[in-house]
Structure 1
Amino acid sequence: MPGEPWVLRDEWSVAAASNGTTQNKASMAYFAHLSDVHIIDEESPARAIHSPIAAESAWRPYDAYSTHMLDAAMRTINEFAEVHPHDFVLFSGDVTDTHLFIELRWFIDVVEGNPIDPDTGDDDNPMATGVVDPHDPYTPVGLSPQIPWYVCLGNHDAWVLGSLGASVVASPTCSSATPLVSHAVVPTCFAELPCPGGYCYPETPERCHVPMDDGYYTSSSIPPDPDRRYIDLEEFKTMVMQATVQGPSGHGFTMENLNDGTNYFSVD
């Protein structure tokens, strides 16, 4: 059976611009799009790097460097904008990993270029002199003040692990986690490739994994921190609207969003 006929949609005259039949070629917009930034407080006991419902891939070797990675992205966008000014930057959801206050605070501070201390609890994991410690305080470059940015809500900005209610996981402000979802886990590194139950874990990264078998991980308690608390959608929108180093006002959100509880917006 034949399918539906092709219908040419060229309201923006893309075809004419590409084949050279138009003399008025112009770019409609220059912008940068970042999705799933996932700023992470990797020390939070509410993370599911080991649980019956999450895979070992919930642990990633670069977790502690999430703010540094975002700062590097801001530097890159600034350099592109020097060549051609950007109209805006769009963050299309999941700027936080577990909708924690400190994760959103770090996200805003990196984008705005505010001094940041990407550590929670005590400074209990110092690294040797000369080694870049991801938990050391620093001042990010931040996005150029001339570039406006917008942010949309993602599932990780609203739910624990992007899908769960806070009542079923460990409190992120405590010093240890419940066995239901997560433990404060130190990934185990193996000299030889581990093959528990006949399944061999991949050799990268560096043979450090958090396997599902309880015999292959170690747990520890961590210093509690009240800044690890969960935030609701109203506080998320309020914090974003209070960011003023770059425009526009509210970064997409308005008082209407706060008053009626909506989380969407449109921009002309």
Structure 2
Amino acid sequence: MSRLRSVTGSTGLHRRSLLAAAGAAAVTAGAGHTLWPGDGRAAAAAGEGVPASSRPAPPAPLAPYTRGTTLAGTAVPVGAAGYRRLGDGPGWRRVVRGELAAPRTGRADRRTALTAFVQLTDLHLTDVQHPLRLEYLRSADVHAWRPQEALTVQGAVALVERINALRGAPATGSPLHFAMTTGDNTDNNTRSELEWFLTVMSGGRVTPDTGDPRHYEGVQNSGLKQYWQPDAAVRDADKRLGFPHLDGFLAAALRPVDSPGLGLPWYSTVGNHDTMPLGCYASHDDPRLTDLAVGGRKLMDVPAAEARRLQQAIRKATDPKGVRYGEFLAAHARAARPVTPDDRRAPFTAAEYLRAHLDPAHRGAGPVGHGYTADNLDAGTQYYAFRIADDVVGVSLDTTHPGGHYAGSLDTAQLRWLERTLRTHEDSHAIVFSHHTSTSMTNTHRDPARPDERRHGGEEVLALLGRHRNVVAWVNGHIHRNAVTPHTGPGGSFWEISTASHIDFPHLARIVELVDNRDGTLSLFTTLVESAAPSRTDFDDLSPTGLAALYRELSHNAPGARTDLAGDPGDRNTELLLRKG
């Protein structure tokens, strides 16, 4: 079993780091059972604390490891206007934040690493030929379709390659113990996308193509000028902004890609795009939308006024089950274009999501189920807790609303389970994971399936976490922007760490390290990483690596793309101090 060392190179064995060095182990699921890897009930009955990792962590280096992180360098735009190429730029400095505890001198010589992990969020692996996609909203809102969407798989594989290349944690040199995805792993709640996500994470060959295997069928060869037509001579709106003409782009985007899979144990948290078609419609009991999803017609263009009305209905949650959306598609059936039907485009249910994670074919570096267990499947829950180290526990929440809409909340049963879990593990530092942020948990409408049960928003979750002195961090995504926020409650203080997506520029994941400074304080180090793709693209390179580089460059140049998603320096590479509970 590997030992974790302090940054001073001490070789003393720290009990709190024993389990982290071997990998994380599941401890409780939404059903309230104690679980272990493999057959959870049998192992728990036998009292066997088997670690969930299928692979021990590598030996820790003696020094911090910053190569390949944004401390060492970032991809930056070159030129002043128009379509801007990317090149290698300077790194982002580390900012010390002491809102919750004052930094004390000498802590770097005293500190001991408790755990280090990687957060991936909002990968949005996208079946770009899917008939239910909302690309046509671009006639009213340029943000509604991204020119880079056909390259999500290549970009995600390059991110996996970057994480595998990291030889230690940037601040402490600790081994990286696990990775956590915090939701929107898929884009459209589609079986094809779920298969791609699990294969990218666990290793194997992905063919990011559905429908006719001989050629692409979607908006990018439609001839419509509101979309970038990379292979065609059409002078579309994006080419007028400087987007390139790339012969062979669409064929290359659909070619098979081999993923090495993460070399770390990895865990999964669910997001609204993993739960509902289009990330907002609770329509699994409506066969009409399923029929449209797998069928042979795809709508690609509607008048701007109609697109605007549909977009407002989605934002205001006036059609949470997608009934009027189905009527909208039916009304435009004659305008829809023929595509090849494909059953792989069907939406997946929560139970199918769990079974796919539990499939041994997707075990990868483990653990089986990636946090989910048979107890989750039996209870119909998608939340769980897991042991990170001797005195660190992880808690993964399901913040999606089963009644529809993209904003989040918790049901009463899960809120009570969270309180119970934190109380049960009050002697362990707790790191909470979710898809939604505290500010995006505003959907407190009653679930039609459970009208007597309240839904609880972000303020209530903050209040609950603030009652427990053992909570040190709430790690989430959803807003596609880096944001680090201090919170203080009557029981203690913690940091909310929200990380930018891997579909909108600047395409980031985040390393988080928890350390004990041995002076009454803890530090959370956060360090952002980009994918392994080169910063600068070569338009003649349509290999998976070349396409992963192009993925980032296209996202930077996407018309109307936000320029604030990297956040301020204090939201990026940080040391976050807090008092030891």
- SS state at 2:127 partner: coil
Contact preservation (8 Å) 2:205, 2:258: yes
Pair 1:81–1:173, CA change in 2 (3 A) = farther
User: What amino acid maps onto 1:250 in structure 2?
Assistant: G
Q: Distance in 2 between matches of 1:228 and 1:130?
A: 23
Aligned-partner Cα distance in 1 for 2:145–2:204:
28
1:35 aligns with 2:121: yes
In the TM superposition, residue 264 of structure 1 has moved relative to its aligned partner by 0.4
Q: 1:220–1:132: structure 2 CA closer, same or farther, 3 Å change rule?
A: closer
2:266 counterpart of 1:266: no
Q: Which amino acid aligns with 1:19?
A: T
CA gap 1:22/1:72 in 2 versus in 1, 3 angstroms: closer
CA-to-aligned-CA distance 1:146-197 (integer Å, 9 cap, x gap): x1000011111111121113347472111114xxxxx1469xxxxxxxxxxx
Cα separation, partners in 2 of 1:253 and 1:131, compared to 1, 3 Å: closer
Partners of 1:240 and 1:100 lie apart in 2 by: 14
Task: Name the counterpart of 2:373.
Answer: 254
Secondary structure (helix, strand or coil) at the match of 1:263 reads: coil
CA distance in structure 1 between the aligned counterparts of 2:138 and 2:281, rounded to whole angstroms? 14
2:149 is matched with 63
Task: Tell me the residue number matched to 2:188.
Answer: 98
Match of 1:142 in 2: 261
Query: In angstroms, what is the RMSD of aligned CA positions?
Result: 2.9
Structure 1 residues 23 and 125 mapped into 2: Cα distance closer, same or farther (>3 Å)?
Answer: closer
Q: Which moved more, 1:165-174 or 1:107-116?
A: 165-174
Amino acid at match of 1:108: L
**SS state of the match for residue 296, structure 2?**
coil
Aligned to 1:231, what secondary structure does the other structure show? Answer: coil
Is 1:86 equivalent to 2:176 in the alignment? yes
How far, CA to CA, are the matches of 2:121 and 2:343 in structure 1? 27
* Contact 1:50-1:56 within 8 A present in 2 as well: no
Say if 2:125 and 2:193, in contact at 8 Å, map to a contact too. yes
Q: 1:248 to 1:53 in 2, by over 3 A?
A: farther
Which amino acid letter does the alignment assign opposite residue 236 of structure 1?
Answer: Y
C-alpha change, 1:91 and 1:235, in structure 2 (3 Å) is same
- Give the C-alpha shift of residue 115 in structure 1: 1.3
Of stretches 222-231 and 167-176 in structure 1, the one that deviates more from structure 2 is 167-176
Matched AA of 2:352: E
Question: Is the alpha carbon distance of 1:229 and 1:53 closer, same or farther for their aligned partners in structure 2, counting shifts above 3 Å?
Answer: farther
CA contact (8 A) 2:203 2:260 kept: yes
Quote how far apart the aligned CAs of 1:82 are. Answer: 6.0
SS, match of residue 158 in structure 2:
helix
Partner of 2:161: 75
The residue type paired with residue 106 of structure 2 is G
Query: Deviations along 1:40-91, whole A, 9 cap, x unmatched?
Result: 0010001111249984422111111111111011011011146753111110
Report whether the alignment pairs 1:176 with 2:297.
Answer: yes
Deviation at 1:24? Answer: 3.0
**Secondary structure at 2:353's aligned position in 1?**
helix
1:124-135 correspondence to structure 2 within 5 Å: 124-125=215-216, 133-135=252-254
Asked if the contact 2:138/2:145 (under 8 Å) is kept, the reply is no
Cα gap change, 1:131 to 1:225, in 2 (>3 Å): closer
2: CA distance between counterparts of 1:171 and 1:62? 25
Which AA in structure 1 matches 2:211?
G
Q: CA deviation at 1:116?
A: 1.6
Partner of 1:107: 197
Question: What corresponds to 2:342 in structure 1?
Answer: 225
Instruction: Name the SS for the 1:125 alignment partner.
Output: coil
The answer on 1:245 being equivalent to 2:364 is yes
**In the alignment, residue 39 of structure 1 is paired with which amino acid?**
L
Q: TM-score, normalising length from structure 2?
A: 0.35
User: Separation in 1 of the partners of 2:352 and 2:139?
Assistant: 28
**Paired-residue identity, %:** 29
How has the CA–CA distance of structure 1 residues 223 and 131 changed in structure 2, closer, same or farther, with 3 Å as cutoff?
closer
Is 1:236 the counterpart of 2:353 in the alignment? Answer: yes
Question: Structure 1 length normalisation: TM-score?
Answer: 0.72
Moved more, 43-52 or 61-70: 43-52
Pair 114,20 (structure 1): closer, same or farther in 2 beyond 3 Å: same
Alignment partners' CA distance in 2, 1:9 and 1:130? 50
**Matches of 2:160 and 2:261 in 1, distance apart?**
6
Report SS of the residue matched to 1:42.
coil
Number of equivalenced pairs? 218
Between 230-239 and 43-52, the greater mean CA deviation after superposition: 43-52
